[in-house]
Amino acid sequence: MAFSDLAHYINFGNGSSTGHYAVTQWAAGASISAGALRRQLATPTVGNERVFVCVVAGTTGGSEPAWSIGSRGLKTTDNTVTWQEVSGQPAMNGDATNTVPWLTIKNTSVSLGQVIKNGSGTHYFICTTAGTAGNGSEPTWNTTAGNTTADNTITWTCLGAVGSFSGWAAPHARIGNATTNFSGGTVFPPMYVGHSHAETQSTALSIAAFGSFATPGKVICVNTAGSVPPVSADLRTSATVSTTSGSNITLGTTSQFTHYYGITFDCGGSGSASSPTFSLSGSNGGHIFDNCVLKVSATGSTGAIFLTAGGNDNTTELRNTQVSFGNTGQRIYINGGKIKWINTASALQGTVPNTLFDWNGAGDIECRGVDFSAAGAGKTLVNITATVSRRVRFHDCKLNASVTKVASNVPSALDVDFYRSGSSGVNYNINRTRLQGTLDEETTIIRTGGANDGTTGLSWKIITGTSVSFSEPFEAPPIAVWNDTTGSSVTVTVEGIWGGGAVPNNDDIWIEVEYLGSNTSPLASLASSAKADLLASSAALASSSATWGGSTTKFKMTATFTPQQKGWLLVYIKAAKASSTFYVDYKATLS
């Protein structure tokens, strides 16, 4: 059996009188017509809020029935009335466009509770006996509300004319109530969430993911006063999902992929001193948060946002999405998977944590166009914990001049790079942090005629640490140089300067050039200015007559080779002398 929904509607409203709670409650001894909508009278337990439509008219009983809500579309007998569950379905929410016509489900298995429209689009019908739709002509519909139409092994009951159900008349109360119906399935209709949706509960909240990488599930905040179905002009960013009493929020991901738009997820409650978590769990799936806020309001020091969890293969992308914390000890944890954070102004809200990114396992973080400037003195962007492979890249991000980019004592498996990321209005900032050392831009000790950004002369300042050697040197980012020569030798030269007195040796600092040395494949060849091998004796680098703006001893590194194809050469500067400072001009020359 299957459902063929093209959309779903969700609106918790204010939890008492709007959204789902604007649906008329069941009442005893009431005369009910076919097509009437009701919700439960007694407050249901969290997650069991539903809307029902009358499919057999009559009079309700003297006490509220035990509603059948174990799965979608179930019937409930209530004295002489029969109800059927229809929460969130497009037809019941005034959306004829996303209500499938009979031809769509022709000759298919249809589940109890599926609502369709006839081919002419004039009336709605609900499946009151599940089965397989006919394969011939469309049935002759009985269009009187409450009357039935036979269709092969299915029975359809008319709910009334299209237009008899107003917009947002029967929404699901909670996002998880709706997504659970599609998690692990093959049909992933968009979930429209009302702009006034303020879903909350005092217990742990879990929302099942749905969708796939090819057809993501979509949970979208829209204006309930706008078009039905919603259009681009109806997009909003005001829906909220929250917990109180220090309770967690968990969004599942296992083999599912869901895109959220315009929703604030807030766990714990601002009055709680506990340490709840917002977590993304599961494996082989992912989430996109688009114009959202991920928030820990509770003030316990170990509250956290887990953007990946369980050490599994998940992806998470934040698009113009802020994070907010309630205590300086809180932070974002990564435990497996890949994180991408882009295009976010004022990314850090609430109490700025002392450490932003921390680790419970391996992970990959990429930040592009994100404003982290709220993290200033005493704050660290990337912590060094965990003993597995981790990589972090910041591209074109706004930073505070006083922030610590990376905690000290960087381990060997942590790579952190900052490109064009800083606190001032310049476009040449760079920082690379490794166990072996660091690299930063330099604007004073520069070579005349060397690298520049069109206005400012530049070089790279490399400071090696104590954990560096010829076997495991510090490696600078690659320098790309175009080569037009084939079949003849060329020489790459990189100029440098340091304060070591004599010129450094070729096992202290050198270049390695990756070039196309074959005309039959793109297999790279390598040329180096370093000593030949581990047992070879080192030799002094050539001195240089270049003009520099500081330091003392000038040198140059050269590598000669014969390329067999035109293309980009990649030049890597490698430094291996411990506790040393080198300035290198990254304008490599080719001769």
Q: Which residue has the higher pLDDT, 280 or 223?
A: 223
- Give the whole-number percent of the chain exceeding pLDDT 70: 99
Longest Cα pair distance anywhere in the chain, in angstroms?
101
Average the pLDDT over 153-180 and give the result. Answer: 97
Assess whether the previous peptide bond of 229 is cis (omega < 30° from 0). Answer: yes
Cβ atoms of 122 and 143 within 8 Å: the answer is yes
- Residue 27 is which amino acid? A
Answer yes or no: is pLDDT of 546 > 90: yes
Average the pLDDT over 330-354 and give the result. Answer: 96
Q: What is the Cα–Cα distance from 157 to 329, expressed in whole angstroms?
A: 58
Q: Indicate whether 346 and 267 sit together in one domain.
A: yes
Residue 115 domain flag: yes
Q: Indicate whether 34 and 156 sit together in one domain.
A: yes
Q: Indicate whether 257 and 295 sit together in one domain.
A: yes
Question: How high is the mean pLDDT of the chain?
Answer: 96
Q: Indicate whether 330 and 479 sit together in one domain.
A: no
Q: Indicate whether 4 and 119 sit together in one domain.
A: yes
Answer yes or no: is pLDDT of 387 > 90: no
Q: Check residue 311 and give its pLDDT.
A: 65
C-alpha to C-alpha distances, 430 to 210, 318, 451, 511, nearest whole angstrom? 40, 23, 14, 19
Q: What is the Cα–Cα distance from 236 to 238, expressed in whole angstroms?
A: 6
SS3 177: helix
Q: What is the Cα–Cα distance from 348 to 353, expressed in whole angstroms?
A: 9
Which pLDDT band holds residue 158 (cuts at 50, 70, 90)? very high
**Tokens at residue 184, please?**
């692990």
Which among 148, 173, 198 is the end of a domain? 173
Residue 286 domain flag: yes
Average the pLDDT over 263-283 and give the result. Answer: 89
Average the pLDDT over 23-47 and give the result. Answer: 98
Residue 456 domain flag: no
What single-letter DSSP state applies at residue 92? G
Residue 359 domain flag: no
Q: Indicate whether 203 and 141 sit together in one domain.
A: no
For position 485, which CATH number holds?
2.60.120
SS3 52: strand
Answer yes or no: is pLDDT of 168 > 50: yes
The string of pLDDT tens digits covering residues 196-209 is 999 999 999 999 98
Q: Indicate whether 225 and 316 sit together in one domain.
A: yes
Q: Indicate whether 115 and 200 sit together in one domain.
A: no
Q: Check residue 219 and give its pLDDT.
A: 98
Q: Check residue 1 and give its pLDDT.
A: 46
Q: What is the Cα–Cα distance from 154 to 133, expressed in whole angstroms?
A: 6
Q: What is the Cα–Cα distance from 258 to 366, expressed in whole angstroms?
A: 20
Q: What angle do CA 139, 143, 149 make, to 5 degrees?
A: 40
Which among 173, 197, 216 is the end of a domain? 173
Q: What is the Cα–Cα distance from 191 to 21, expressed in whole angstroms?
A: 18
Q: Check residue 2 and give its pLDDT.
A: 63
Q: Which residue has the higher pLDDT, 586 or 186?
A: 586
Q: What is the Cα–Cα distance from 520 to 513, expressed in whole angstroms?
A: 19
Residue 34 domain flag: yes
Q: Indicate whether 9 and 144 sit together in one domain.
A: yes
Cβ atoms of 461 and 451 within 8 Å: the answer is no
Cβ atoms of 583 and 497 within 8 Å: the answer is yes
Which pLDDT band holds residue 336 (cuts at 50, 70, 90)? confident
Type and span of the H or E element at 105: helix 102-105
The string of pLDDT tens digits covering residues 17-30 is 999 999 999 999 99
Residue 455 domain flag: no
What percent of the chain is helix, strand and coil (3-state, nearest 5)?
5, 40, 55
Which pLDDT band holds residue 50 (cuts at 50, 70, 90)? very high
Q: Indicate whether 340 and 373 sit together in one domain.
A: no
**Tokens at residue 525, please?**
């060849």
Which pLDDT band holds residue 283 (cuts at 50, 70, 90)? confident
Answer yes or no: is pLDDT of 523 > 80: yes
Which residue range(s) make up the domain with 118?
A: 1-173
Which pLDDT band holds residue 388 (cuts at 50, 70, 90)? confident
Q: Check residue 312 and give its pLDDT.
A: 72
SS3 234: helix
Residue 457 domain flag: no
The string of pLDDT tens digits covering residues 105-130 is 999 999 999 999 999 999 999 999 99
Average the pLDDT over 433-453 and give the result. Answer: 97
- Residue 129 is which amino acid? T
Which among 302, 324, 353 is the end of a domain? 353
Cβ atoms of 96 and 12 within 8 Å: the answer is no
Answer yes or no: is pLDDT of 474 > 50: yes
Answer yes or no: is pLDDT of 7 > 80: yes
C-alpha to C-alpha distances, 530 to 58, 279, 536, nearest whole angstrom? 92, 48, 10
Q: Which residue has the higher pLDDT, 273 or 334?
A: 334
Q: What is the Cα–Cα distance from 413 to 365, expressed in whole angstroms?
A: 14
What single-letter DSSP state applies at residue 538? P
Q: Indicate whether 219 and 90 sit together in one domain.
A: no
Nearest 10 degrees: CA dihedral of 312, 314, 320, 324? -20
Residue 449 domain flag: no
Q: Indicate whether 199 and 303 sit together in one domain.
A: yes
Residue with tokens 């047992």: 535
DSSP for 395-455 reads ES-B--TT-EEE-SS--TTEEEEEES-BSSS-S--EEEEETTEEEEEESSS-BTT--BSSS
Residue 431 half-sphere exposure toward CB, CA atoms < 13 A: 15
SS3 464: strand
What single-letter DSSP state applies at residue 216? B
Q: What angle do CA 345, 347, 350 make, to 5 degrees?
A: 130
Average the pLDDT over 306-310 and give the result. Answer: 82
Q: What is the Cα–Cα distance from 516 to 555, expressed in whole angstroms?
A: 27
Sign of the CA dihedral running 404, 408, 414, 417: positive
SS3 196: coil
Number of domains in the chain: 4
Type and span of the H or E element at 102: helix 102-105
